[in-house]
Structure 1
Amino acid sequence: MKKTVFLVQAALIGAIYAVITIAFAPISYGEIQVRISEALTILPFFTPAAIPGLFVGCIVANIYGGGGPVDIVFGSLATLLAAFLSYKVPKKWMVPIPPIVVNGIVVGFILNYLYQVPLLAAMGWVTLGQTIACYGLGYPLIGLLERYRDKIFR
């Protein structure tokens, strides 16, 4: 039963991540982006199933995004690493930090490579977009989900 719950949670998280990213495509991709779905990167705080779920959701979203193999592979691996690190952080207020830092660096390099955006500018824009998504949307989501933790994440 536990394995089934884990798989269902991971699948749902991945699907929701991909759908939100694609639904907000105009701001989810490109040189300046605020990927609303990155608010979900707080979910490892509640369940380890979010780690593979976010990874697979990001793969699907990046396939749609048109950045090609570099973005699909390295962008998705950045999400995997960030999700794992978010799961490991010791304090709730720190949960959004790994996605902000990891994606700021990795996606900054990806945008520099794909679009020749100056590296520091790319990193800065991604970090800003991640901060908006992860702390502006994701951190309040933690508070909301904590109220229903026992019903949603068992």
Structure 2
Amino acid sequence: MKNLKTKNVAVSIIVSVLYVVLVYAFAPISFHQIQIRIANALIGLVPLLGWPGIYGLTLGVLLGNLSSPLGPIDLLSVLPSFVGLIAVYKLRQVSVILGLQIYSTLISIWVAFMLYLVFNLPYFVTFIYVFVGITIATTGLGYLLHRSAIRFGFKDLLKESVT
């Protein structure tokens, strides 16, 4: 039991660190109206990682957004991210793509709203730009990562490690 908890915490930390590193490594395309946040591909692992993945990615979003040009308001992004990550996990048996797309839509609504508030950008046009970029990263790359992880046995490797 204790080993399982330790492994879950370790998985959360590793996922969080990976997310933050990817946000900072690809910072020029991780923020603003036109963005493809490569780190969002990790969301494709949520159906395999479960709650440790959700917690790790939520922390990763918080830490990754510390450098956001939007300022402190972007730290609130953890709330819609957490809700979206839960949706991805809950829909894993129905459709991974559907869960990833719901996440993409939810985050696009939020990011477009923040860009409207902070930079006074037109909401609908901003939503479209953000939605396309987030969908590419989250649904496109995320689903590819999900399928690759299954194909290369990542799911079996984690089976006894996380719940």
Partners of 1:135 and 1:85 lie apart in 2 by: 13
Q: Could you give the per-residue CA deviations for residues 64-83 of structure 1, whole angstroms, max 9, x where no partner exists?
A: 2232211111x221211111
Q: Which residue in the other structure is 2:96 paired with? A: 92
Please say if 1:21 is aligned against 2:27.
Answer: no
Task: Could you list the structure 1 runs, at least 4 aligned residues long, displaced by more than 4 angstroms after superposition.
Answer: none
Q: Could you give the per-residue CA deviations for residues 95-125 of structure 1, whole angstroms, max 9, x where no partner exists?
A: 3112211111111101111111111112111
Tell me how many residue pairs correspond in the alignment. 153
Partners of 2:62 and 2:114 lie apart in 1 by: 15
Identify which of structures 1 and 2 has the higher relative contact order when contacts are C-alpha pairs closer than 8 Å and 6+ apart: 2
Q: Which residue in the other structure is 1:41 paired with? A: 43
SS at structure 2 position matched to 1:30: coil
Alignment of 1:33-112 (within 5 A): 33-47=35-49, 48-73=51-76, 75-89=77-91, 90-112=94-116
Pick from 146, 156, 160 the counterpart of residue 150 of structure 1: 156
Partners of 1:85 and 1:135 lie apart in 2 by: 13
Could you tell me whether the CA contact under 8 Å between 2:45 and 2:145 is conserved in 1? no
Report the RMSD for the aligned CA atoms in angstroms: 1.3
Pick from 109, 121, 124 the counterpart of residue 120 of structure 1: 124
Instruction: Please state how far the C-alpha of 1:42 moved relative to its aligned partner.
Output: 1.6
Partners of 2:7 and 2:111 lie apart in 1 by: 31
Instruction: Please state how far the C-alpha of 1:31 moved relative to its aligned partner.
Output: 2.0
Point out where structure 1 has 5 or more consecutive residues left out of the alignment. Answer: none
Could you tell me whether the CA contact under 8 Å between 1:83 and 1:98 is conserved in 2? no
Instruction: Please state how far the C-alpha of 1:135 moved relative to its aligned partner.
Output: 2.6
Larger Rg: 2
Instruction: Please state how far the C-alpha of 1:146 moved relative to its aligned partner.
Output: 0.7
Point out where structure 2 has 5 or more consecutive residues left out of the alignment. Answer: none
Q: Which residue in the other structure is 1:130 paired with? A: 134
